[in-house]
Structure 1
Amino acid sequence: MVDRGASALSLPDDWPAHPDPILALNRMGSFDWDLDTGLMQMDAQAHEIFDVRPDEYDGRPETLAMRVPPGEAVRLDAMVSQALKDGSENYGAYFRIRCRDGSPRWTHTQGYIRRDEIGRPRRIIGIVRDATQELSESSARRERAAQDAVRRQQTSVVQITTAALAHARTVQDVIDVLDDTDGLTHLGATSLVMGLLEAGRIRMVAAGPADSYVPGTRVTRLDARFPMNEVVRTLAPHFIESPEEFAESYPDLWPHITDLNITSAAYMPLIAQARPIGAIGLLYNDRHGFSPEERNVLVALGSSIAQSLQRAMFYEQEKDLAQGLQQAMLPRTIPSVPGADVAVRYRSASLGRDIGGDWYDLIPLPGGRVGAVIGDVQGHDTHAAAVMGQLRIVLRAYAAEGHTPATVMARASVFLHELDTERFATCLYAEADLATGVMQLVRAGHIDPLVRLTDRTCRSIPVEGGLPLGLSAEFGRLEYPVTSVELDPGQTLLLCTDGLVEQPGADLDEGMHTLRDLIATGPDDVRDLADRLIDVAEERGGDDDVALLLLRRLGGAAEQSGGRLQQHVAPGDPEALTEARHMIRAAVRAWGAGERADEIELAADELITNALMHTEGSAIVTLRVLAGPARRLRVDVEDSSSALPRRREAGESGVSGRGLMLVDMLADVWGVEARGGGKCVWCEFGVPGRD
């Protein structure tokens, strides 16, 4: 205590003059400390508070050292000295004393400093009181407040974690939520482990820290002596409250985790719909034991995790089923096509478990031709996928039979209508002759295709279209116009479904503009370009599937001088004959021979009609541009009959016999060639060269 140089002991005449009954009633003692003499007088209540008898106290503050521990005495002396120096009028402090029986007692003192006219401290008058009960109650309140805060924090973590788990779709999503720094780590867990029950075994799906799997624990038998296996067997949580308990209970596991400095652990079974699906463990390195409240919180958290985990497992099962069905409906492989690089991609909708009706196909055809198909059946369910699978197969069959693109589309529409389903489908079919680059395009309610030119610019190909498949048959509008264009070497054709074009909050035109920019700035290789487009679609998300087919024509510039188309015309198929005429007309104009279009079409029509009337089989029509000094267009009509055509005169009333006469008059030259078991009747027309 502060020593002001005490002299001989003398008591002031007025001490104490009138003891204050209020202080006594409040169990307060008073003191009067004369700073000049250093003596501090205390009343009887103060003696009782300090637990000293009157004969034990000589009025000197340092005598109280028998009750005030040295550390507390130093602290009090420093506080009083500071108050005297800085001009304070009072001070107050809590300090501990040691009673006669050795028990501690909290004491509170409040002192009032009296100064003379020049501000020099002369006297301190104050009180002391027993504050043990006060501080005990305060400490209890603080402890309860701290417990309430911890409980609120734990409840908040459970609520936050449960809310985050509600958005988890996959098992990995659940693991990421639990391992997040804002998740279970707020409960003080150092790391977590989680295992799933599969076929009577526990498969570890998470272990922290990363790459800290204990050897031999990735897949364990259910009866193995590990804590997760035990809680799955017993369906009861297990709380390990000390390292010694851990080492004793699981001697095979403990040596492998000693480096983690684990002091306690909590393992909970994950139970959903009254059956175990796995277990989770939380490991701590700064906790010994668990209070009842903490155990309840962890058990509740385990229940929430189990429900989320079961949803994630169901989601993944449904997604795997949907993707498996979708992949089964799509072509298993895409054939290699001479003269072209081809890439296909498919992305399921962001909804994940929904299965869509988008599809693509590539169909090798005779004569170096290839058919490219893109389509989308209405809906996102197994019915849509089943319809898609059937439609893809029949469309492929119609194309392989040699029907014209328009006939292929019309027959596919009739087939879909006869399935007695309410679904319709959009589709685009492109038949390309890779030797010449001539393409015939037919569109059924689908978006237009795109082409990337050799200068890397990208544009849409406007294709006159018809109604979607199924609807055109229902309304009796099976006419599908054919658009003929040329794909030069180095150019890339892109067919896609609208999931690649549509963007949230943007119209279709804006989406097409964005897609053209992506294609124009994309890689040259069609596989790399397809990957980039599908990655963009993945990042953008969306509720629709995406099917994509890219075809890049190979070859040199010299091949551009020619052109070749081929068409199969079956007997008794007036639609096929009509489509053949349309093909001839469109091709002749596309090849720059429009001045002789009528002549070529009439001559070809006569040859096709003769083949169908005078043979029992079908006819194959081929149009070719022959390069050379004099550019010529050649029409070949093949049939399976070896009987050669005869030119004969028709009578005045005859309705036949004029076909070859017309061919002879219209064509520059014509002839007949034997073709194995059949023949080919051909004719050629001189056409002007192209600029």
Structure 2
Amino acid sequence: MADWGETPEVDWPARPDTSLALNRLGTFDWDLDSGQMHLDDTALEVLDLRPDEFSGTASGLGPRIAPGEGARLDARVAQALKDGRSHYGAYFRSRLRDGTPTWTHIQGHILRGPDGRPYRIIGIVRDAAHDPAEPGAGGEEAEGRRRMTGVVERTAAILAHARTVSDVTDTLKDPGALGHLGAISVMLGIVDGARVHLVAEGQLGSYVPEIEYTRIDAAFPMSEAVRTMQAVYLASREEFQLRYPQLWPYIEPLSVRSGVYLPLIAQGRPVGALGLLYAREGDFTAEERNLLVALGSGIAQSLQRAMLFEQEHDLAEGLQRAMLPRRIPEIPGALIAVRYRAARMGRDIGGDWYDVIPLGDGRVGVMIGDVEGHDTDATAVMGQLRIALRAYVAEGHTPGTAMARAAGFLRELETERFATCTYAEIDLGTGMLHIVRAGHLDPVVRRGDGSCHRIQVAGGLPLGLPQGEQSVGGSGYPVTSLEMHPGDTLVLCTDGLIERPGGDPETGMRELMESVRTGPVDVEELADLLCDMVGDAGGGDDMALLLLRRRGTPAPRGGGPLRVRLSPGDPDGPAMARHLIRAAVAAWGAREQADEVVLAADELMTNALVHTDGGAQISLRLTADGRIRIEVEDGSSALPQRREAGDWAVSGRGLLLVDRLAVAWGVEPRGGGKSVWCEFAVPAPPA
């Protein structure tokens, strides 16, 4: 650089270039369209750049602009261009070739075309190191303080919305955030027992596995900040080396010249520490320390909230996993896929559930439901309700009875929560499907030919409503029956799959049906497709999905047994049994005898329910010698008596009808009760 202490002889009057050079005023010309920038010799001298070092673009000034200043200058120019101004000016911190910090001032005149579009900036660059305190570099220092304060305030505002530790670390690592404080690297450590766990490192990208975990009593600055709950300030590389020799091998290769480690204290105890590393050397002023301490306090509060949220979330997520089935059993004759997606509101959990219940004899029960709410209470109620409904089904109750009992169970819990649910039983041999619905969405069936239908299921009110409300408008939960053919797919879901922010549920249902209709045949692939649909446009609710595809062909000759539990006063039980028996008889090749078999079964069921206390169970099976065998078990040891009824008698003909219709019948003792049975011959299939 030239020696600016001597004044050369000049002409009178001085030429403009001489006047500019003597006052260390260089000029620049910036073509905004091409990006090319020209600096005269004095401008290069001010910035301590050699001509061969300058690339001829604005980015070529980067080596001489202090960290964080480039973004601020870009913002100043962009704002002037946007506001339509003709001039702008700014002070900025720069560094000479040997690293000496200094101040530089830039001022530009913006040229615009007839349409107002800026196309060129012509301006001056001058050395501002010796400007008076006001309004020169001192004004820039005041602006720098305001900028630092603004960064702290903005960072605190952003952190106020952080929910997780990852949100906190992402904010701290953002180059546009704490980087404006001049830091070249940011580190965040979290107290983990007797150790400090380094969970984030900033812009240097110098991840060091050896110091990912350090003991709180170790000789590291972050550990010391946690241990003493006092900030650690390091003003030079020598201080790093002297005070923390264990850390020095990791610092030495980096361009770090100073640093600060702030304890993060919440409710009187340290939860972590924040490290900021700088490329400048020198101590921190009292004002800088106050700002950093304020920053650390805000980060500590955000970090503690995030840690508590994650602890609660982990607990709730574990509860959710425990309440849902750990695995889905393989069901011969069916392909089943299930999915659950957590809510994006509350604690990211909810009360949606699914379940698959093997019932034996080629039958399977599937259910899906939704307890209101998105919290641990909803999850706990969901788990209890799922297990209760599963138990009622396993006891042999019909779908309608099982749902009614589940409604009573939820009322007895006194949770003030209600739930919606759909339960379906399918005989995979006959294809008969029986569905009961409690305030839930209608199921969807995709037929083997690709057509898609919404099944209108007669339903009852949601579970858990007070008894008075539950009884309004109907008696319990009616069962809807239909037939599923091989290749048909049953779709059960909760409303999280069809709800859209500000959208209509009916629109969501139509979109669901279209996706099911055009989607893949494979149930796993179809489930993934429907989940992706939620991810693209879904709302904040959780979602459960269950798909069941019937495969294979109807049951071959020889099958069963089919079992249905009958409860006193339950009109749905015998009706469902008649449906199942008729379908099974037809599947076994005896469709012509279906009326006779159903009539005999109805008489045996009626006898058991009318003449004994408690419930009964009816079973139907095809024996190895080709006979259809019906058995009705009850808890009474009293044997039935066949008697001749008079012409005007209204009862007494049950066993007489069975004797006339069946090829054989009888009674067998079963523990404390008995089993009344009858058999029908099935014609052999044609050769």
TM-score normalised per structure 1: 0.73
C-alpha contact (below 8 Å) 2:604/2:632 kept by paired residues? no
Cα distance in structure 2, aligned partners of 1:494 and 1:565:
27
- 1:425 paired with 2:422, answer no
User: How many residues are matched?
Assistant: 569
- 1:479 paired with 2:479, answer no
- Matches of residues 198-347 of structure 1 in structure 2 within 5 Å? 198-208=192-202, 212-347=206-341
Cα distance in structure 1, aligned partners of 2:580 and 2:361:
19
CA offset digits 1:653-686 (Å, max 9, x no partner) = 7554311333466x5x543388895656346599
CA 1:612–1:374: 2 relative to 1, 3 Å: same
Q: Give the corresponding residue for 1:662.
A: 657
Cα distance in structure 2, aligned partners of 1:271 and 1:207:
20
Unaligned runs of 5+ in 1: 1-67, 84-90, 98-133, 627-631
- 1:568 paired with 2:564, answer yes
TM-superposed CA distance for 1:420, in Å, is 3.3
Q: Give the corresponding residue for 1:490.
A: 487
C-alpha contact (below 8 Å) 2:265/2:297 kept by paired residues? yes
TM-superposed CA distance for 1:522, in Å, is 3.9
Cα distance in structure 2, aligned partners of 1:421 and 1:586:
37
Q: Give the corresponding residue for 1:176.
A: 170
Cα distance in structure 2, aligned partners of 1:350 and 1:416:
26
The one-letter code sitting in structure 2 at the alignment partner of 1:568 is V
Cα RMSD of the aligned pairs, angstroms, is 3.9
Q: Give the corresponding residue for 2:442.
A: 448
Secondary structure of 2:367's aligned partner: strand
C-alpha contact (below 8 Å) 2:198/2:212 kept by paired residues? yes
TM-superposed CA distance for 1:467, in Å, is 1.3
TM-superposed CA distance for 1:594, in Å, is 11
Of 73, 76, 80 in structure 1, the residue corresponding to residue 8 of structure 2 is 73
TM-superposed CA distance for 1:612, in Å, is 4.6
Cα distance in structure 1, aligned partners of 2:409 and 2:678:
35
CA 1:179–1:327: 2 relative to 1, 3 Å: same
Cα distance in structure 1, aligned partners of 2:425 and 2:541:
27
TM-superposed CA distance for 1:587, in Å, is 7.3
CA 1:366–1:478: 2 relative to 1, 3 Å: farther
Cα distance in structure 2, aligned partners of 1:341 and 1:329:
23
Cα distance in structure 2, aligned partners of 1:653 and 1:580:
26
CA 1:473–1:78: 2 relative to 1, 3 Å: farther
Cα distance in structure 1, aligned partners of 2:272 and 2:325:
38
Q: Give the corresponding residue for 1:519.
A: 516
Cα distance in structure 2, aligned partners of 1:617 and 1:514:
48
C-alpha contact (below 8 Å) 1:231/1:268 kept by paired residues? yes
Secondary structure of 2:200's aligned partner: strand
Of 511, 524, 527 in structure 2, the residue corresponding to residue 530 of structure 1 is 527
C-alpha contact (below 8 Å) 2:500/2:508 kept by paired residues? yes
Cα distance in structure 2, aligned partners of 1:78 and 1:245:
55
C-alpha contact (below 8 Å) 1:200/1:222 kept by paired residues? yes
- 1:366 paired with 2:360, answer yes
Cα distance in structure 2, aligned partners of 1:432 and 1:338:
12
The one-letter code sitting in structure 1 at the alignment partner of 2:549 is R
TM-superposed CA distance for 1:214, in Å, is 2.7
CA 1:136–1:679: 2 relative to 1, 3 Å: closer
Deviation larger for 472-481 or 543-552: 472-481
CA 1:625–1:160: 2 relative to 1, 3 Å: farther
The one-letter code sitting in structure 1 at the alignment partner of 2:343 is A
Q: Give the corresponding residue for 2:499.
A: 502
Q: Give the corresponding residue for 1:349.
A: 343
CA 1:386–1:411: 2 relative to 1, 3 Å: same
Cα distance in structure 2, aligned partners of 1:504 and 1:465:
27
CA 1:135–1:364: 2 relative to 1, 3 Å: closer
TM-superposed CA distance for 1:606, in Å, is 0.5
CA 1:244–1:280: 2 relative to 1, 3 Å: same
C-alpha contact (below 8 Å) 2:398/2:572 kept by paired residues? no
Of 661, 672, 680 in structure 1, the residue corresponding to residue 665 of structure 2 is 672
TM-superposed CA distance for 1:320, in Å, is 1.6
TM-superposed CA distance for 1:274, in Å, is 1.8
Cα distance in structure 2, aligned partners of 1:69 and 1:646:
129
Q: Which has the larger radius of gyration?
A: 1
Q: Give the corresponding residue for 1:464.
A: 458
The one-letter code sitting in structure 1 at the alignment partner of 2:550 is R
TM-superposed CA distance for 1:509, in Å, is 0.7
TM-superposed CA distance for 1:143, in Å, is 1.1
C-alpha contact (below 8 Å) 1:642/1:679 kept by paired residues? no
CA offset digits 1:342-367 (Å, max 9, x no partner) = 23222222124164322222111132
TM-superposed CA distance for 1:231, in Å, is 0.8
CA 1:447–1:291: 2 relative to 1, 3 Å: same
- Identity rate of aligned residues, in percent? 51
CA offset digits 1:9-36 (Å, max 9, x no partner) = xxxxxxxxxxxxxxxxxxxxxxxxxxxx
C-alpha contact (below 8 Å) 1:401/1:568 kept by paired residues? no
Q: Give the corresponding residue for 1:40.
A: none
Secondary structure of 2:361's aligned partner: helix
- 1:551 paired with 2:548, answer yes
TM-superposed CA distance for 1:311, in Å, is 1.1
TM-superposed CA distance for 1:325, in Å, is 2.3
Cα distance in structure 2, aligned partners of 1:78 and 1:330:
94
Cα distance in structure 2, aligned partners of 1:618 and 1:318:
46
CA offset digits 1:310-344 (Å, max 9, x no partner) = 11111111212222222232223333322222232
CA 1:578–1:458: 2 relative to 1, 3 Å: closer
CA 1:529–1:248: 2 relative to 1, 3 Å: farther
CA 1:675–1:154: 2 relative to 1, 3 Å: farther
Of 649, 663, 667 in structure 1, the residue corresponding to residue 644 of structure 2 is 649
Secondary structure of 2:210's aligned partner: coil
- 1:437 paired with 2:431, answer yes
TM-superposed CA distance for 1:438, in Å, is 1.6
Cα distance in structure 2, aligned partners of 1:470 and 1:378:
11
C-alpha contact (below 8 Å) 2:498/2:538 kept by paired residues? no
Cα distance in structure 1, aligned partners of 2:520 and 2:175:
40
C-alpha contact (below 8 Å) 1:484/1:586 kept by paired residues? no
Q: Give the corresponding residue for 1:114.
A: none
C-alpha contact (below 8 Å) 1:72/1:96 kept by paired residues? no
Unaligned runs of 5+ in 2: 25-127
Cα distance in structure 2, aligned partners of 1:633 and 1:156:
88
CA 1:511–1:169: 2 relative to 1, 3 Å: same
The one-letter code sitting in structure 1 at the alignment partner of 2:135 is R
CA offset digits 1:261-301 (Å, max 9, x no partner) = 21111110101122111101011224443233222222221
Secondary structure of 2:315's aligned partner: helix
TM-superposed CA distance for 1:465, in Å, is 0.8
Cα distance in structure 2, aligned partners of 1:673 and 1:287:
103
Secondary structure of 1:277's aligned partner: strand
The one-letter code sitting in structure 2 at the alignment partner of 1:672 is W
Q: Give the corresponding residue for 2:116.
A: none
CA offset digits 1:65-101 (Å, max 9, x no partner) = xxx9697527x55993569xxxxxxx9668479xxxx
C-alpha contact (below 8 Å) 1:437/1:563 kept by paired residues? no
- Matches of residues 88-167 of structure 1 in structure 2 within 5 Å? 95=22, 138=132, 140-167=134-161
CA 1:384–1:552: 2 relative to 1, 3 Å: same
